Amino acid sequence: MNGEARTARRQPAAPAGALVEATVALDGEDGCIARARSLTGDFLTGVRHRDGRSLPARIVDLARLVVSELVTNALRHAPGPVLLRLRVAGPAVEIVVWDSDPALPQPCDPDPARVGRHGLEIVRAVADEFDAMREAVGKRVVARLRL
């Protein structure tokens, strides 16, 4: 590995009530966002319900989209590394992105002529829950997708 991403913990089986998570550090090098999407897909397709079924493809696709938008925003607006944590806990997939900039994301005013800068709108439209909070250093952005 070239240091762009490192998995801290990965547990692909999801027994009843168990927490399944993966955490990666992303350094912002070229291809980093695509790798984050790929890691998300690989992780979530490896998770199984206690009855052996995999997570719905729609959830995996939405999670990839949310990861892509949140990681893109973090890399664009904050210096330094970005941490991505994926969790499957109970009835939801939780996507957490941490970056070093304490400024909370703000949606842009509606503008049909605007090109780009729709990431936060997209995430808020597809996520069942969305939150952003300042941390001692930087901020944490959380999106949850119900299973």
pLDDT tens per residue, range 3-23: 444 444 444 444 445 568 999
Segment 123-129 shows an average pLDDT of 95
Q: Bigger pLDDT: 73 or 1?
A: 73
Residue 105 has pLDDT above 50, yes or no: yes
Q: Bigger pLDDT: 17 or 94?
A: 94
Residue 91 has pLDDT above 90, yes or no: no
Q: Rounded to an integer, what is the distance from CA 139 to the centroid of its chain? A: 14
Residue 69 has pLDDT above 70, yes or no: yes
Whole-model pTM: value is 0.84
Segment 28-56 shows an average pLDDT of 89
Q: At what angle do helices 119-126 and 57-77 cross, to 10 degrees?
A: 150
- pLDDT, residue 18, reads 56
Segment 39-57 shows an average pLDDT of 87
**Mean of the per-residue pLDDT values of the chain:** 85
- pLDDT, residue 113, reads 82
- pLDDT, residue 108, reads 78
Q: Bigger pLDDT: 118 or 64?
A: 64
Residue 96 has pLDDT above 50, yes or no: yes
